[in-house]
Chain A
Amino acid sequence: MTQSLEGEGREGGGVKMEGGERKSAVDNMAQKKHIFTPVSEKEVTRAIVDGFARQFIEYVESDCLIIGGGPSGLMAGRDIALKGVKTLIVERNNYIGGGFWIGGYLMNKVTVREPGQKVLEELGIPYEKAVKGLYVADGPHACSKLIAAACDAGVKFANMTIFDDVVLREGNRVCGAVVNWTPVNALPREITCVDPIALEAKFVVDSTGHDACVVKKLEERGFLKTAGFGAMWVDQSEDLVVEHTGEAHPGLIVTGMAVATTYGLPRMGPTFGAMLLSGRKGAQVILEKLKKK
């Protein structure tokens, strides 16, 4: 950001120069070379709009549209993007990462059960053994590394963007999502005349956690019936979530805790191995289906 220094200066703010001459600090700075290249506000605005618009236009149609940027969505996105699949993650919050920043009770340590630690290793996330078969890592470190891995693989993000509805085609196949800005959603519908827009994709992934937003939309239309999650049972829920990860409806892959809601599996505690492995399994399903296409 640029700023005029002409006419500025303040009393008592001078520095003692050689030969006894006093000069204001601001004048001194003005004479020096700028640290940052001077650009105008309008150029900054243009850069943001242009960058966003170019990416948005490109990703109005993608191979895979992932709804929800939590650990399972990030993992799925990272794995498919590594294989060259054009992937966009839609996240309703400003921040990406979902609940992966913190473990239980707002404590920022995340746990994974064996073999989840292998994914931590693969992503370069430091961890330590808690008890036999259970590993603990720093939430901020784990989450930021996973986000970075997804970005490095080529995943693009539309954050502050909320899922509104599904796009259906022949045979009621899911082939996209209707989205809107998240803040619009917070306002009363009667006074916010902001229509949503649609994004298309070969596959849509519901990784919206317990809400299972995409699956619920299909349920509203009578295409399937979810069960909601059962009581918390860490020991078994992780295996079951991974086992049930897959295509729940033509064109719709479900990963992470949305799987538990869809199939009525036991609720999971603050352990994230299944989120990572469910994301990975979802990615495998997508890659196989894309190959067949």
Chain B
Amino acid sequence: MNDFIRPIPSIIDLYEEGDLNGLNISELGQYLEEKTHIPFRIQGNIYKGISKGNIQVVAEKLAKVRVRDPARRYVSRIPLQAEVDYEKRRIQDPDWKIFGILYDGVFYQNIISDLISECGLDLGDCSILFTNQLFGTWDKNNRRYHARVSLYGFPSLISISGLVVAPAKPKEFYLKKQMGAPVEWLMEEYQGRFLDRGDSRTTEVLKGYAMQGLFFHLTGDPFCEDRDCRLFNSHWQEEVLHSQMGGKHEFCPWHETILKRVIG
């Protein structure tokens, strides 16, 4: 049963990491404010407050939390110089476009949490980082990492790259790919049935994920079992598009009630 486990935050802080092509963060913030009456603040690039002397330290931390083998659980190791250099370049470029390295989401979240705390901000407020980087979490059942769209916590992480690669595309896409069909052709054939990079639907879809982050903050449970509710935990692209843009209602009656309580 969902109920409040924390006070309603006085503000929602939205952070950015890398090139967030397709996401209109101010529109998303306005949506959150409209739904919750909690004001939002766009904090900008998560790395903007790092002093020059600290770049190396943060770069080393980030290089350390790379998942080197998705089939093996993360173990700490000394990163190679080129990995640290890569992270340094990434930290210093707010429009960094490249992604594809899989990071351990939990450790990544710790690094971001430290960065926010160092800026003197209160983690009691709801903080959400939108990133173009990819993170995953270890699944102890099938013993491998899985890329994720979001990882809720303090702060919550939402990945626009994860949104493209983590929820599965239609089954036929993979079957045809396995038969040798070129990916470019399949992308064209199934266009519209999944989200692609820079997709015009990104902002709309991520509004629901941001709401999941807020619900996690309030109740400890970000998800809903109703596939027509924006809090539905989608595993397929078609579920993402349905719950975020094609559901019978925006939020199920239960979550609507909670929202009303947030508004007061």
Residues of A bordering B, CB below 8 Å: 105, 131, 134, 224-225, 227-228, 230-231, 233-237, 239-240, 243-248, 254, 262-266
Q: Known: A134-B184, A228-B69, A264-B66. Contact between A236 and B100, CB under 8 A?
A: yes
Chain A CB within 10 Å — which of B68, B89, B97, B183 has the most? B68
Report the minimum CB–CB distance from B168 to chain A (whole Å).
14
Q: Are A236 and B183 in contact (CB under 8 A)?
A: no
B254 on the interface (CB 8 Å rule)? no
B175 on the interface (CB 8 Å rule)? no
B42 on the interface (CB 8 Å rule)? no
Q: Known: A225-B77, A227-B69, A246-B82. Contact between A240 and B101, CB under 8 A?
A: yes
9 examples of A-B residue contacts, CB within 8 angstroms = A105-B180, A131-B184, A225-B80, A227-B69, A237-B100, A244-B83, A246-B82, A262-B82, A263-B82
Which A residues are in CB contact (< 8 Å) with B80?
224-225, 248, 262-263
Q: Are B98 and A247 in contact (CB under 8 A)?
A: no
Q: What does the 1/0 interface line of B50-90 toward A look like (CB < 8 Å)?
A: 00000000000000001011100000011011110110010
Q: Which of B175-223 contact A (CB under 8 A)?
A: 180, 183-184
Which A residues are in CB contact (< 8 Å) with B184?
131, 134
How many chain-B residues does the 8 Å CB contact rule pick out? 22
Q: Known: A131-B184, A224-B80. Contact between A239 and B98, CB under 8 A?
A: yes
Which A residues are in CB contact (< 8 Å) with B98?
236, 239-240, 243
Q: Which of B70, B89, B99 contacts A236 (CB 8 A)?
A: B99
Report the minimum CB–CB distance from B255 to chain A (whole Å).
35
Q: Known: A228-B69, A239-B98. Contact between A263 and B81, CB under 8 A?
A: no
A248 CA to B69 CA, complexed, in Å = 19
Q: Are A243 and B99 in contact (CB under 8 A)?
A: no
Q: Which of A131, A224, A264 contacts B69 (CB 8 A)?
A: A264
Chain A minimum-CB-distance residue to B164: A235
Q: Which of B108-166 contact A (CB under 8 A)?
A: none
A265 CA to B83 CA, complexed, in Å = 11
Report the minimum CB–CB distance from A102 to chain B (whole Å).
16
Q: Are A263 and B83 in contact (CB under 8 A)?
A: yes
Q: Known: A131-B184, A134-B184. Contact between A239 and B82, CB under 8 A?
A: no
Q: Are B82 and A240 in contact (CB under 8 A)?
A: no
Q: Are A246 and B69 in contact (CB under 8 A)?
A: no
Which A residues are in CB contact (< 8 Å) with B82?
244-248, 254, 262-263
Which A residues are in CB contact (< 8 Å) with B68?
227-228, 264
A225 CA to B72 CA, complexed, in Å = 15
A239 CA to B134 CA, complexed, in Å = 15
Q: Which of B77, B78, B81, B180 contacts A248 (CB 8 A)?
A: B81
Chain B minimum-CB-distance residue to A234: B183
Chain A minimum-CB-distance residue to B185: A131
Q: Which of B70, B85, B86 contacts A231 (CB 8 A)?
A: B70
Which A residues are in CB contact (< 8 Å) with B81?
247-248
Report the minimum CB–CB distance from B257 to chain A (whole Å).
42
A239 CA to B77 CA, complexed, in Å = 24
Q: Are A230 and B183 in contact (CB under 8 A)?
A: no
Which A residues are in CB contact (< 8 Å) with B99?
236
Which A residues are in CB contact (< 8 Å) with B70?
230-231
Given contacts A237-B100, A265-B101, 5 further A-B contacts (CB under 8 A): A236-B100, A243-B86, A243-B98, A246-B82, A254-B82
